[in-house]
Structure 1
């Protein structure tokens, strides 16, 4: 029996259960009795989290990411750790890898350290098979779970994300409107975020009555560090006779690989080939011309995530989902 189970059976929020356990006066007598009846019925004994999210606090937040060498994830870690430190919290970082068992082990290790909450950075922590997400539900029964750029409907799970679907759709539509007729979409992940971006690209084409072509949706399965591999991958697509005059990507490293392909193949950017990246990372400035890229407001998302976390730990009612709009930062790789 966890505080999550108590809240479910009593039909109240976890914050309300916590207030009851803390003896807070800000609870209606009828609600207090309902919660206490459940607690007594099941012989529940509160742990440090249940006794008070602000009381008995370890002032420590666990952070999980799949790979800290990834530019996007590394930047997110920096922003979140910096904001938590400003609010008086220490952090413990765990790099899980991309396999489910690694995620479970790292999460359980953090919980054993009695962290006050866990931040999961990246949509790869939420899997397509609902049963594989039980480990997140179980953890949310003990501490608040904060998801960055992932969407998961669960009590005590708080999501801060960018509307990747709309951002990719808008960028694709702008490229179509500029005259590009055959747009290649390059992606490297089937995560929640990855699939939302792909769906945005697809809907942009369909809304312009352009049929979807499998050969123009290509998944690069190499490392995010293998920019030369991306270049070779795009070359192989071209050698198959697949024609494209625009490339929209799910990550800046893919776009830089595409830029390198264009330079090696003497294809002029943007007059003959337009290219758009995603994340607006430092890589966007590492090509000639500089890369147009979708800014998914990472710093703003991280600030909001910490704000939601601190509010939750202070027993304030906080939104369970906050969505930001991405924005295309136009540079020299596009002509619109």
Structure 2
């Protein structure tokens, strides 16, 4: 592999002159610059990224934190952000931060030690006090972007999905189809799920549905838990004619339970998930879902992070509306 010294020797110049050409700096005669560029192209010379980073005091590294890398829509978001930033010459470190607040704080500390120039935090679970302390303590001088969360810090931007309004739209659709007993099956306690439940409760009050909201909570995120909880719900509340699920993953189990119990979908029972994941597409029948625009929000997050790193930190909040994708269960 050719080094900068090999190029300099063949061009008959000092290594520092080649370095100036590689880094686009002035002070080199045009004829000399053209000769060096021709040699660089001839030998497919590629400057060492780490060495250039030391010269420019730049690492071109970005940290991406996820609570649990097994959650498909979060890892897909991380993938989109990583790909978008790779196009701009950045290298990403993706880490699983864990569910506990102190583990998230420790992950923030660890990623800062890698001298990253920006950080993306994926999911509403990163909006807690420990994370805020971590940003203030370790990341206050670099841009931070939250996906589906926001906090008012000068270096933090957030892309927030309007899932509360999205769930209200789902309730409007179901109520417009004559559904009077609509339940909500949710998973873990998160800011995102709290917003979804608030939209559900608001429409229950507005429409006068149910003596009280029908809310069931699964023990874990899985198809099996969705199936088990739906069986329980339909046994305890057989009058239920519509169910909303906090994520498609558990809704897929709900579809299986309803079909096994002999429900005709959507004639007798309408089901809807949230997040427009692959689970909704592989259901039989295919699941109607609330598209929370994971791809769009991730692209926006990557661009906000890039702008923060290249043009200076400028925290901002973006609110992104959801949209309903009707398939075969409504």
Q: TM-score range by the shorter chain?
A: 0.7 to 0.9
Matched residue SS, 1:76:
helix
Task: Show structure 1 runs of 5+ residues with no match.
Answer: 1-54
CA distance, structure 1, for counterparts of residue 138 and residue 302 of structure 2? 19
Residue in 2 aligned with 1:164?
163
Residue in 1 aligned with 2:216?
218
CA distance, structure 2, for counterparts of residue 239 and residue 148 of structure 1? 37
CA distance, structure 2, for counterparts of residue 238 and residue 133 of structure 1? 41
Matches within 5 A, 1:138-153: 138-153=137-152
CA distance, structure 1, for counterparts of residue 89 and residue 300 of structure 2? 16
Contact in 2 for aligned 1:275/1:291 (Cα 8 Å)? yes
Asked if 1:252 corresponds to 2:251, the answer is no
CA distance, structure 1, for counterparts of residue 164 and residue 287 of structure 2? 20
Matched residue SS, 1:309:
helix
Indicate the RMSD between aligned Cα atoms, in angstroms.
1.7
Matches within 5 A, 1:226-265: 226-241=222-237, 243-265=239-261
Please state how far the C-alpha of 1:211 moved relative to its aligned partner.
Answer: 5.4
Please state how far the C-alpha of 1:74 moved relative to its aligned partner.
Answer: 1.4
Please state how far the C-alpha of 1:242 moved relative to its aligned partner.
Answer: 5.3
Matched residue SS, 1:314:
helix
Please state how far the C-alpha of 1:210 moved relative to its aligned partner.
Answer: 3.1
Residue in 1 aligned with 2:81?
80
Please state how far the C-alpha of 1:161 moved relative to its aligned partner.
Answer: 1.8
CA distance, structure 2, for counterparts of residue 152 and residue 317 of structure 1? 15
Matches within 5 A, 1:123-138: 123-127=124-128, 130=129, 133-138=132-137
CA distance, structure 2, for counterparts of residue 136 and residue 319 of structure 1? 13
Contact in 2 for aligned 1:140/1:155 (Cα 8 Å)? no
CA distance, structure 2, for counterparts of residue 135 and residue 255 of structure 1? 35
Contact in 2 for aligned 1:202/1:212 (Cα 8 Å)? no
Matched residue SS, 1:256:
helix
Contact in 2 for aligned 1:139/1:145 (Cα 8 Å)? no
Please state how far the C-alpha of 1:319 moved relative to its aligned partner.
Answer: 5.5
CA distance, structure 2, for counterparts of residue 328 and residue 241 of structure 1? 26
Residue in 1 aligned with 2:112?
111
Could you tell me the TM-score, scaled by structure 2's length? Answer: 0.79
Contact in 1 for aligned 2:142/2:309 (Cα 8 Å)? no
Please state how far the C-alpha of 1:164 moved relative to its aligned partner.
Answer: 0.8
Residue in 1 aligned with 2:266?
270
Residue in 1 aligned with 2:8?
none
Residue in 2 aligned with 1:66?
67
Q: Which of 1 and 2 has greater Rg?
A: 2
Task: Show structure 2 runs of 5+ residues with no match.
Answer: 1-55
Could you tell me the TM-score, scaled by structure 1's length? Answer: 0.78
The alignment covers a number of residue pairs equal to: 275
Residue in 2 aligned with 1:49?
none
